[in-house]
Amino acid sequence: NLYSSGLNLQTAGIPAPRSLIVVTDTALCVIITIVAVAQSSFYNLLNAFVASLSIWLAPWVAIYLLDWVLRRGRYDLHGLANERGGPYWGNGGVRWNGVIALLIGMIGAGLFANTGYFVGPLTALLSPEHPEFAPDLGIAAGVVVAGVLYLIMNRGHAASPTDSVQPEGAQDA
C-alpha cells in the first residue's frame, strides 16, 4: 500500500516528509494505471513486464546466493543492522562489487534475452531468419556473467567465521 511505500522510501534515505512521498507515489501509481488501461491489451503489457523481470532478477539471485556461499551462510547479524560502518557498509553504504556485477550481469542477460517483445542482439544471431524463435538464454547469461564477476571481485572478501554470528539452532558444517 502507499503508506508502506512511503515508509520504505523514507527508510531508503529520501529526505522528504512522508505525506509528500505518499502524494508523489500516488501520482506515479495513477500515471502507471492510466498507461496500463490505455494499452490495447493489458495482458501484453503485463506479460512484457513479467518477462523483463528476469533481466535483473537472474543476476541478483546469482549474486545473493554466491555471497551466501562465500560467507558459508555466516553473517554478522549486528553488522547487518548497523546503519553506518560495520563489515557490510562498503564505500559510503554501497558495495560496488555487487553493483558492478549486477549491472554487467543485466547487460549480459539483455544481450541474450528473448522475452517475446524484446530479442537481444546476440540471441537474434542464433536465428537470423526468425529471431523471435531463438532461445531465451537471458537467465543463464545473467546468472553466469554476474556470478563469475562477483566471484572474481570478491576473492578473499568473505567474512571470517570467527567474527560471524549464526542464527540460533544453526550448526557448523
Where do the domains of the chain lie? 1-38, 43-160
> Which residues lie across from 119 on neighbouring strands?
114
Measured between alpha carbons, how far is 98 from 150 in angstroms, rounded to an integer? 6
- Which pLDDT belongs to residue 2? 73
- CA atoms within 13 Å, Cβ hemisphere of 62: 28
- Which pLDDT belongs to residue 101? 94
- Which pLDDT belongs to residue 162? 42
| C-alpha grid cell, residue 62 | 546469482
The pTM is what? 0.69
Question: What pLDDT digit, counting tens, does each position of 115-173 carry?
Answer: 877 888 888 888 878 877 788 888 899 999 999 999 998 886 655 444 444 555 555 54
- Which pLDDT belongs to residue 164? 47
Task: Check pLDDT > 60 for residue 15.
Answer: yes
Task: Look at residues 108, 109, 101 and name the one whose alpha carbon lies nearest to residue 148.
Answer: 101
Task: Look at residues 64, 152, 139 and name the one whose alpha carbon lies nearest to residue 106.
Answer: 139
| C-alpha grid cell, residue 41 | 491489451
Question: What pLDDT digit, counting tens, does each position of 43-91 carry?
Answer: 777 877 888 888 899 999 999 999 888 888 777 777 777 777 777 777 7
Name the burial class of residue 160, with classes exposed (0-12), middle (13-18) and buried (19+) by CB atoms within 10 angstroms of its CB: exposed
- Which pLDDT belongs to residue 58? 93
